[in-house]
Structure 1
Amino acid sequence: MKKIFRILGILVLSLLWQHCSDDQAPARPGEGNVRFALRTKSATTGRTATSLPEGASLYVSIRRVSGDEVYSLEPVRLLKLGDEYISEPLALPGGNYELTDFLVADGDGNVVYATPKEGSALASWVDDPLPQAFAVSDDGIAQVDVQVLPTDAQLPEQFGYVTFKIDVVPFPYFQLAVFRADSTAPVFTPAYVYLLLEGDTVYHRHLPAGNQPIRFPGNPEATYTLVIQSNALATYQRTFVLQDLVAELNGAPLQVVLQPALTFTALYRFDFFQFWTESMPGSSFTIDWGDGTVGEYTADNGYIEFHHIYPGSGDYHVSVSGDLDVLWRLGLVFGFGASDQIFLNALPNLRSLGTGSGYDFGADSLDLSHNPKLEVLSLFYSNVRYFDISNNPQIIGLELIGSDDISTALLDQVIADLHQHAFELTLEQGYVNLEGGESSIIGPPSSEAIELLRDLKNNLGWNVLPDPN
């Protein structure tokens, strides 16, 4: 707790210096994907089958290791690659899971292959009967190999199932094409897509780029909310009556163009979440907080703090759109939360960035390649350990206070880039603060890097802490 108060005190002074000197949607962040590869066998001969029926689909049930069900007989498309079958990616937050049902049905809903469950008569015919454990990493794709047996001449109970009945969605309700705005023409982009019905998520997919069918057992007369999220792009929401949307589209895909945005994951664990910006007076912003709340804000005097209270602890995908080309300073997040998956692509004129929380969670990397005008980078007790300033030649202020996870190798490269840029552009009177939280200095830098810091201090008048002399 003392550490948190110390961070807050440092940050208040830093922010004052910088300011004076110049319908509930599910949270997507931190999600990965799982993809299933089928291995078909014969229960009598053990020989591998070569093909599945035309129009076959996969149906899976997945639960967390805690026992909470995530998917229940969820339909998943199958693709044939050579002699193998793989499923489309299925979105899952990072974590540990168990596959509890695995059925392959033909186009009429008749189950033709299944994976036996532990304790069933056919369990010994596969290497790993259900439940089958697997892990999903954030923003990764886990591939799970699953063996299935044909169901012909076999009863469901021999596989450990009560029934093989599957309700088949006969056709896609509509097609969806998601684009990102580009300087010349919109470009197809992958995205996370949700459909909400009365606050419940009834459809959840990570769709690849291109025209994609939206299949779900929907009620044509019901009102749904479509939510589309993608990194570095503004969140899209639309509410519609299903049959009205289908009639409106008349077979054509629903085309959605996502605009550039500042996006990040709000890691909400405390009383409220906050971040701040400084921009041109009168600039306006739209913030989708990732929980169904959308706010409109105007920076009357240029400086504005954004506060939000979430309905509960979680990771929320936040998108900020609007006058981002005049957003100069950004603070994420000091003392009241943490941020992950920070995408700064839409901030070409960003001059100052600060982030840190003092907690053992938050972003471990930053991509600064889209911010060539960056002058100040402040990482206070941050978990960031990967960043590159080679494309940020105007940096004249670097604070890495308490960021003890930064390695000597990375720190040496950062100091070398900082030194090169400063002497090439004659950047005088800058500052570097490398004070550690658990030691006197982070890294620590090598003797060669210390010599570069000494050169900055003695020949360009930089203030360097700890003092390299």
Structure 2
Amino acid sequence: MKKLSWLFYVASLAVTMVGCRENEPAVPGEIRFTLSAGAVADPAGRTLASLREGASVYVSIRRVSGDEVYTLQQVTLLKMGDAYISEPLALPGGNYELTDFLVSNATGDVVYATPKEGSDMASWVDDPLPVAFAVSDDGLAQVDVEVVPVGFHMPEQFGYVSFRVNVVPYPFFKLSVFRPDSAGLAFSAVHAYVVESGDTLYSRSLPARTNDVAFSGNPEGTYTLVLNVPGHATYRRTFVLQELLAELNGEPLQVTLVEALTFTALPYATGPDITEPYDFWISMEAGVPQTPFTIDWGDGTVEQFYDPSYLQFGHRYSAVGRYHVSVSGDLASVGRLGIVFPWGVNDDVVVRALPELISLSLAWAGVGDSLDISQNTKLESLGLNSTGIRYFNVRNNPRLTYIELSDNVDFPPAVLNEIIGDVYHHAVARHTGEGWLELDAPDGSETMIGPLSATAMDQLRQLHDEYGWTIVPDPF
């Protein structure tokens, strides 16, 4: 019954459709590094204390999934008493690995390095690279890194191909990014990229302030600036560097973001090429005039579509990866949204820009996510099948009469008890009958996710017996 009910639900949505709403984007966290010297003496007798003002570290960081976030990113070192500590580096919450760590003096010469596992010098430190660490949103994490003087050693002895780093003497331009909020405009954290002919020259998560954007570029070269913020349309601007500098005349480039439907697409690949498009669909309410929609697929492809009622969008990616997708336009006309048939999975769904949504369906969505629908008071139907979403509440959604949470592994019982309590109180207050609540466990045993509290079970019984709700699987 579980699988049939889900297929029936999806099939019916293909005719009518689905939707959701998110909260403000999470504020990225920060990571900083503290240095300590390893046991190997420098041939010239230098120590960490010998580093003068202007010293930097160059770090490479990747997600545990393997996606590169920073590649030999320069970070300023600050002297704190007898110790050195780096300036904070912005990172979205998640699990990461530090894969390169080089310390340079003010002239750009590498004088210390952290050895990598398997290298000749690895035994001289307690924890050779890669070093795992975690960052929480809006939090500050600290990683202690042990370094060894380079001296006359070869890069290969540390596990590096080269000790050469590019020293950028000054930032090319300043950037200020703003987003709308209740008070007007506010600084926004942002992930910024500078791309040249498909190659990414700069990739950084920037905090909510005016930031320096520095990369090794040609003043006469043509580049594209790409800005990604969850819940906002992707910003792209192609520029000639010297022309942009003349235009700005020392002032920051100011960008005001536009709210949009956004999510992260993670397409699957079979063999060398993607064999099926990654797709999703939306529908508009009856009587809505033709409305343009602009989709930025996150790989440089930008398309525009027109349709008055039903749209299914698809795109073929040339490689697997994480792609920030944004859909902008007259999104107030969208009544239903479904991201349930992609050739891949989805993550980081943000639908704050869709105020008229009455229905949402997500399947095979990301891990460890939360979903905020507290401001979406018109929502009537919510389907979360086989997702990694771990928290949402429905206390501000009195019209919600269809909820499916099938096949969600490790859904927290406390959250489920809270959801059932809110659904029960809405039904009692509004005398809502004949709702649907589907809570199948993923093991195929026709059991319920949970376990539920005695209060939640009693509330389910009353919904079933007194208000005619369908509870799947039926425990009564």
Aligned-partner Cα distance in 1 for 2:153–2:66: 23
Q: Are residues 1:381 and 2:379 paired?
A: no
Aligned-partner SS, 2:464: helix
Question: Structure 1 residues 345, 39: closer, same or farther in 2, change over 3 A?
Answer: farther
Match of 1:442 in 2: 448
Please list the CA deviations of residues 306-357 of structure 1 after superposition, one character each: whole Å capped at 9, or x if unmatched. 2121112222111122222332211112363321111232233321111114
| Bigger Cα displacement from structure 2, 442-451 vs 292-301 | 442-451
Name the counterpart of 2:85.
85
Q: Which residue of 1 aligns with 2:337?
A: 330
State the one-letter code of the partner of 2:281: W
Equivalence for 1:194: 193
Structure 1 residue 261 displacement after superposition = 1.7
**What corresponds to 2:417 in structure 1?**
412
- The change in CA–CA distance for 1:402 and 1:241 in structure 2 (over 3 A counts) is same
Q: Does the CA contact (< 8 Å) of 1:276 and 1:332 recur in 2?
A: yes
Q: How does 1:262-273 map to 2 (within 5 A)?
A: 262-269=261-268, 271-273=276-278
Q: Which amino acid aligns with 1:383?
A: G
Change (3 A) 1:256 1:65: closer
Q: Distance in 2 between matches of 1:68 and 1:422?
A: 45
Partners of 1:69 and 1:261 lie apart in 2 by 26
Deviation at 1:37, TM superposition (A): 2.4
Residue 463 (structure 1) aligned to one of 445, 450, 470:
470
Following TM superposition, by how much is the alpha carbon of 1:90 offset from its aligned partner in structure 2, in angstroms?
A: 6.3
Distance 1:416 1:249, change over 3 A: same
User: Who is 2:22 aligned against?
Assistant: none
CA distance in 1, matches of 2:306, 2:368: 27
Partners of 1:356 and 1:383 within 8 A in 2: no
Q: Percent identity?
A: 44
1:155 aligns with 2:160: no
What is residue 170 of structure 1 aligned with on the other side? Answer: 169
Pairing 1:356–2:366 present:
no
| Residues 210-289 of structure 1 mapped to structure 2, 5 A cutoff | 210-269=209-268, 271-280=276-285, 281=288, 282-289=290-297
Matched, 1:133 2:141: no
CA distance in 2, matches of 1:320, 1:276: 11
Give deviations 1:96-139, integer Å, cap 9, x for gaps: 64534512221x324454446789998776544x5443356797
The answer as to whether partners of 2:369 and 2:390 remain within 8 angstroms in 1 is yes
Which of 419, 422, 443 is matched with 2:427 structurally? 422
**Match for 2:103: what amino acid?**
L
Of the candidates 317, 327, 332, which is equivalent to residue 324 of structure 2?
Answer: 317
Q: Which letter does structure 2 place at the counterpart of 1:319?
A: S
CA distance in 2, matches of 1:212, 1:466: 53
Query: For residue 36 of structure 1, what is the aligned residue in structure 2?
Result: 33
- Other-structure match for 2:103: 103
Which residue number in structure 1 is paired with residue 23 of structure 2? none
Residue 296, structure 1, aligned to residue 294, structure 2? no
Aligned partners of 1:385 and 1:407 also within 8 Å: yes
Mark the CA change 1:328 to 1:119 in structure 2 (over 3 Å): closer, same or farther: closer
Change (3 A) 1:94 1:397: closer
1:397 touches 1:432 (CA, 8 Å); kept in 2?
Answer: yes
Match of 1:418, SS?
helix
Separation in 2, partners of 1:319, 1:167: 33
| Paired positions, count | 450
Instruction: Tell me, in whole angstroms, the C-alpha distance in 2 between the residues paired with 1:423 and 1:248.
Output: 62
Closer/same/farther in 2, CA of residues 429 and 264 from structure 1, 3 Å limit: same
Q: TM-score, normalised by structure 2?
A: 0.80
Q: 1:431 to 1:133 in 2, by over 3 A?
A: closer
Greater shift, 379-388 or 197-206, is seen at: 379-388
Cα distance in 2 for partners of 1:95, 1:237 equals: 28
Using the TM superposition, give the Cα deviation of residue 172 of structure 1 relative to its aligned residue in structure 2, in angstroms: 0.7
Local SS of the residue matching 1:196: strand
Which sits farther off after the overlay, 158-167 or 261-270?
158-167
Query: What SS is found at the alignment partner of 1:234?
Result: coil
Counterpart among 304, 315, 325 of residue 308 in structure 1? 315
Cα distance in 1 for residues equivalent to 2:3 and 2:435:
27
Distance 1:43 1:223, change over 3 A: same
- Matched to 1:429, the amino acid is E
How many angstroms apart in 1 are the aligned matches of 2:62 and 2:238? 29
Distance 2:259 2:284 in 1: 17
Residue type at the aligned position of 1:316:
Y
TM-score (norm 1): 0.81
Counterpart-to-counterpart distance in 1, 2:67 and 2:465: 61
Q: Is 53-62 or 253-262 further displaced after alignment?
A: 53-62
1:423 Cα deviation after fit: 1.3
Q: Which amino acid aligns with 2:449?
A: G
Q: Which moved more, 1:457-466 or 1:242-251?
A: 457-466
CA contact (8 A) 1:89 1:141 kept: no
Whole-Å Cα distance in 1 between the matches of residues 17 and 72 of structure 2? 54
Gaps of 5+ in 1: 20-28
1:390 correspondence with 2:395 = yes
* Residue pair 2:115, 2:129 contacting (<8 A) in 1 also: no
Displacement of 1:234 in angstroms is 1.5
Partners of 1:51 and 1:268 in 2: how far apart?
49
Is 1:431 the counterpart of 2:436? The answer is yes
Instruction: Output the CA distance in 2 between the equivalents of 1:304 and 1:73.
Output: 42
Greater alpha carbon shift after TM alignment, 163-172 vs 277-286: 163-172
Distance 1:65 1:13, change over 3 A: closer
Paired AA for residue 193 in structure 2: Y
In structure 2, distance between residues paired with 1:32 and 1:398: 33
Quick one: distance in 1 between partners of 2:453 and 2:119? 62
Q: Report the more deviating stretch, 213-222 or 340-349.
A: 340-349
- For 1:187 and 1:255, the matched residues in 2 are separated by 12
Measure, in 1, the Cα distance between the counterparts of 2:3 and 2:436.
24
SS in 2 for 1:423: helix
Superposition CA RMSD, Å: 3.9
Q: What is the CA-CA distance between 1:272 and the residue it aligns to? A: 1.6
Which consecutive unaligned segments of at least 5 residues does structure 2 have?
A: 19-25, 270-275
Q: In 2, distance between residues paired with 1:393 and 1:66?
A: 39
- Residues of 1 paired with 2:135 and 2:126: CA distance? 24
Aligned mates of 1:204, 1:162 — CA distance in 2: 22
